[in-house]
Amino acid sequence: MSTLRIDIWSDVVCPWCYIGKRRLETALDRFQHADEVELHWHSFQLDPSHPKGHREPAFEMLAKKTGASTAQVRAMTRQVSDLAAAEGLTYDLERSVSVNTIDAHPLSHLAAAHGLGDQMHERLLRAHLGEGEIVADPDTLVWLGAEAGVPEDQTRRMP
């Protein structure tokens, strides 16, 4: 039996990535040979220039980045949230905080080494986009990792 490998580059703060992840999972649920598909998650930073340690409400960051008004940003994110809801996802982008995700990606790699890459990616996306968690905070990463099944001591030793 041959395996189909799907490589996916994604950031844990990307609302479109979470929608795409759910759509891919839905398609695989209908695919007769889904058991022959392997998903491989790769790290991608949406904004590597975002200063490490800097936290900014996502609405403020989007307004600066796009030159849009607060009302325009709210309308734009409402549309994205509606698309997410159609996929069964709950976004709370008003609570979302823009961060540099460089510290979250090693957790995804550690989880993948334990066979938990997909679960960890899902947990990080939900934490950021739906729960307003700071996915750059070391303590938050430890408990999110533990929820996904990553040994806490290993998460604490991550660079």
Please, which residues bridge with residue 6 across strands?
A: 39
Instruction: List, for residues 99-139, the tens digit of each pLDDT value.
Output: 999 999 999 999 999 999 999 999 999 999 999 999 999 99
Cβ pair 15, 128 in contact under 8 A: no
Q: Please give the Cα distance from 59 to 93 (Å, whole number).
A: 8
Residue 1: pLDDT band by 50, 70, 90 thresholds?
low
> What one-character DSSP code corresponds to residue 71?
H
The confidence score (pLDDT) of residue 125 equals: 97
> If we measure between CA atoms, which residue out of 98, 95, 93 comes closest to residue 81?
93
Q: Please give the Cα distance from 87 to 122 (Å, whole number).
A: 14
What's 32's domain CATH number? 3.40.30.10
- Domain with 101 in it: 4-156
In this prediction the pTM is 0.93
Instruction: List, for residues 71-95, the tens digit of each pLDDT value.
Output: 999 999 999 999 999 999 999 999 9
Question: What total of structural domains would you count in the chain?
Answer: 1
Instruction: List, for residues 20-73, the tens digit of each pLDDT value.
Output: 999 999 999 999 999 999 999 999 999 999 999 999 999 999 999 999 998 999
